[in-house]
Amino acid sequence: MGAKGGAVVVVIGVIHGDEDAGLLITDELLRMRAPSGVELWVVPTINPDGTAADQRGNANLVDLNRNFPYAWAPMGKPGYWQFSGSKRASEPETKAIVRFMREMKQELGICYHQDLNMISPGTGFEGQVRAQYARLTGIPLKRITGGTYTGVAATWQRNTFAPGGAFVVELGESLSRDSALVHAQAVHIVSMTVRDR
Binding site for Zn ion (CB under 5 A): 16, 19, 113
Instruction: Give the span between the Cα atoms of 108 and 166, in whole angstroms.
Output: 5
100 φ, ψ (degrees, to nearest 5):
-60, -50
**Shortest distance in whole angstroms from residue 154 CB to Zn ion:** 11
**Shortest distance in whole angstroms from residue 79 CB to Zn ion:** 18
Of 63 and 107, CB closest to Zn ion: 63
154 φ, ψ (degrees, to nearest 5):
-65, -35
Of 27 and 115, CB closest to Zn ion: 115
**Shortest distance in whole angstroms from residue 192 CB to Zn ion:** 27
In the chain, beta strands by DSSP E = 7-14, 38-45, 108-114, 165-171
Of 19 and 28, CB closest to Zn ion: 19
**Shortest distance in whole angstroms from residue 6 CB to Zn ion:** 29
Instruction: Give the span between the Cα atoms of 197 and 192, in whole angstroms.
Output: 8
Of 113 and 188, CB closest to Zn ion: 113
Instruction: Give the span between the Cα atoms of 86 and 151, in whole angstroms.
Output: 12
Closest residue to Zn ion in the complex (CB):
113
Of 16 and 188, CB closest to Zn ion: 16
**Shortest distance in whole angstroms from residue 117 CB to Zn ion:** 13
Strand, coil or helix: what is 137?
helix
For residue 141, list its beta bridge partners: 119
